[in-house]
Copies of this chain bind each other. A is one copy, B any other.
Amino acid sequence: MAINYDRVVTQSLAKQIAEQIRSAILQGDLQVDERLPTEEELAARFNVSRPTIREALKRLAAQHLIRSRRGPTGGTFVTRPSTEEMSDALTGTATLMVSLGEFDLDSISEARREMEQLCLGLAVQRRTESQLAELNAALNQQQQPISDEDFCAADIRFHRALVDATANPVLQFNMYTVIEALQPLTNMLANRFRDREVIIGHHQALYNAIAAQQIEPARQALDQLIDYLTCQYSKALAWKQQSSQ
């Protein structure tokens, strides 16, 4: 008769413990701001050493699930990650995927075009005066004699303001990936004065159309911007590939 075997556990103790606590948090069994047992108590409960518990907790902290504080009112608490923390984590992930070649330029371009057009439709309807002001401020910043880094930061600022005008946090959250996934590629063009001029021109057209709440000119400006960027990226990549041979 056949013998049944239990699955062999190859994961480290710390990882297993982290997974258990993570599941409890995601399932709502641990509430935000709830205090976990002390490290000593957790060690006793899981029957492991305190350093092992600490390794497990550091995994959770790295995922913005918990935070800790020393002192009599200290301890380890389930945390409420801010949207900014999550976005930073997400863009780091996206940046890694791009650098690993998981996302090719055509896919990024297409995703950005489609998703930003979608946002544009909502932004044209819903933009507020303060969001318009932010778009304008980013545009003005790009027109200054600023560094490549600042130009790129202003570029992100402009597109984030556009996405913020959708008034939809889910779209905002997702668009940050796409906007900043192109960041390393935008860096290739930021040093060229001519490219800056063209980008600023399209941004100006975008801004004008959004301000006037005219969807068609806005769509065309965005299409032309994405077309231009994709074309320049391709040229820059080809040139870079050729000059490195």
Contacts and interface: CB of A to CB of B under 8 A. Distances in A.
Given A14-B58, A95-B26, A115-B115, A32 B100 contact: yes
A122 to B, nearest CB: 8
Interface in A103-122: 103-104, 107-108, 110-112, 114-115, 118, 122
Interface stretch (A86-94, A194-202, A204-212): A86-94
Contacts of A156: none
Number of copies: 2
B58 A92 contact: no
A178 interface: yes
A138 interface: no
Interface string A72-92: 000000001101001001101
B81 A96 contact: yes
A80 B99 CA distance: 10
A181 B62 CA distance: 21
Interface stretch (A163-171, A213-221, A224-232): A163-171
A202 B38 CA distance: 50
Interface of A is mostly: helix
A59 interface: yes
A174 interface: yes
A234 interface: no
B93 A90 contact: yes
Nearest to A168: B107
Interface in A1-36: 14-15, 18, 22, 25-26, 28, 32
A233 interface: no
A103 B170 contact: yes
B178 A177 contact: no
B169 A92 contact: no
15 contacts: A14-B58, A26-B92, A26-B99, A28-B99, A54-B55, A62-B62, A63-B63, A83-B97, A83-B102, A102-B169, A107-B168, A107-B169, A107-B170, A115-B118, A170-B178
Interface of A: 14-15, 18, 22, 25-26, 28, 32, 51, 54-55, 58-63, 65, 80-81, 83, 86, 89-90, 92-97, 99-100, 102-104, 107-108, 110-112, 114-115, 118, 122, 168-171, 173-174, 177-178, 181
